[in-house]
A and B are shown apart, each in its own frame.
Chain A
């Protein structure tokens, strides 16, 4: 079959795609920040010796690990408003879905980093007379952070890619904008090839930045 490629109509509407890319970056950045906060709270609950704190956190985490991400998007957009009698716009619903699901995964990253620190480090600090809080702040967390970096980056990349699901709620992310451009140009091959390359450039750039950050945080090893 002969197909004559023509990126012309797509590139004419590149401003639409650029806006989509910007929205994708925006929703990812906001969701990473909120996800980290959710993850920190969940990780502290999971690490607590009090079962009434650790068990609910475990249930929350397992719920997210064992359900498809798109269900979370639909739940926050279609179901939550029924429960609360307020409607959420697509952006808010997508941010809630992304930050809670990434929070559940970040929590395991944070907890894993903390529990990976050898018992001897705790004992070394305790023997000096350090309180639990001081030990955490001065000894455990600084070492745990460098171990958390690789899985944290991995998880953030997952989140970045999952933002494409926000298009199902009609949030104007890169994928949604591509669908709009396609509707106007009837050039799916060119449109979706273009945005695939845009996602690729975005993720490769992000991974380069992440590698720099990683090198800095693990300098002592």
Chain B
């Protein structure tokens, strides 16, 4: 155990106008942890993940990355300088439900983009890293393809390679298989599983409860903007203690562990 968690969230609130989505969340992540976040649609699980790398700005609360507070507090108001947010996002890789690849760049250029533009690496070195990441997700033969010509599963694997290329300390997956055809889900989950075997620190928002059970070291059931139940996969998914969790799992139907 390290002296402090890699990610430390205190009193996180998020409001969209009058809509109070997240109502005071405390949360820590230790290096090597794999956290699955589950919950009904509209429960705020994606919003929670998106707050961590400031895709959404917090309404209240604070986040520490490796012990360092993100944002500057002056006279009670917190500002988030662009430079600091960029550094934070560089350290937290994110994979989106809709992939968000850059359609005007080839697959290889998509993966090289962050390395060249953000990290300032020379192109040959960026290319070497990008090729290695693409090999890892099994897309060596697609370097020069346009993203729009790939299947959803392939696009998501490119997106994972793009996130990995930055050597992030934590990976955030926001429903990475939710927009895929059923037959393409497996290839993406296999890549994520492989990353789990490498002991990477990861947070996964998902509806794939069966996968979450095998993937996670910790499962969080989010409901009504709070962490309703937190525990090991067995505790939360097999023997949930709270009626609300039991109800959610029952409504989700049968799934095999």
Contacts and interface: CB of A to CB of B under 8 A. Distances in A.
Contacts of B101: 124
Contact of B89 (A121, A126, A138, A146): A126
A142 B117 contact: no
Interface in B126-153: 146, 148
Interface stretch (B91-99, B220-228, B248-256): B91-99
Interface string A119-146: 0110111111111101000110011001
Contacts of B118: 128-130, 134
A18 B102 CA distance: 48
Main secondary structure of the interface of A (DSSP, over half): helix
A127 B99 CA distance: 12
A220 B148 CA distance: 9
Interface string A186-221: 000000000000000000000000000000000011
Interface in A95-139: 120-121, 123-132, 134, 138-139
A177 to B, nearest CB: 45
A86 to B, nearest CB: 45
B104 interface: yes
A134 B102 CA distance: 14
B122 to A, nearest CB: 17
A216 to B, nearest CB: 13
B103 A130 contact: no
A129 B82 contact: no
A123 B166 contact: no
A143 B159 CA distance: 18
A129 B103 CA distance: 19
B162 A123 contact: no
A120 B89 contact: no
Interface string B63-91: 00000000000000000001100111110
B114 A129 contact: yes
B117 A127 contact: no
Given A124-B101, A127-B163, A143-B103, 19 more contacts: A121-B102, A123-B55, A123-B94, A123-B100, A124-B99, A125-B102, A126-B89, A127-B96, A128-B118, A129-B87, A129-B89, A129-B166, A130-B86, A131-B82, A132-B82, A138-B102, A143-B104, A220-B148, A221-B148
Interface of B: 53, 55, 82-83, 86-90, 92-94, 96, 98-104, 113-114, 117-118, 146, 148, 159, 162-163, 166
19 contacts: A120-B98, A123-B55, A124-B102, A127-B53, A127-B93, A128-B90, A128-B113, A128-B114, A128-B117, A128-B118, A128-B162, A129-B86, A130-B86, A131-B82, A131-B83, A138-B102, A138-B117, A139-B102, A143-B103
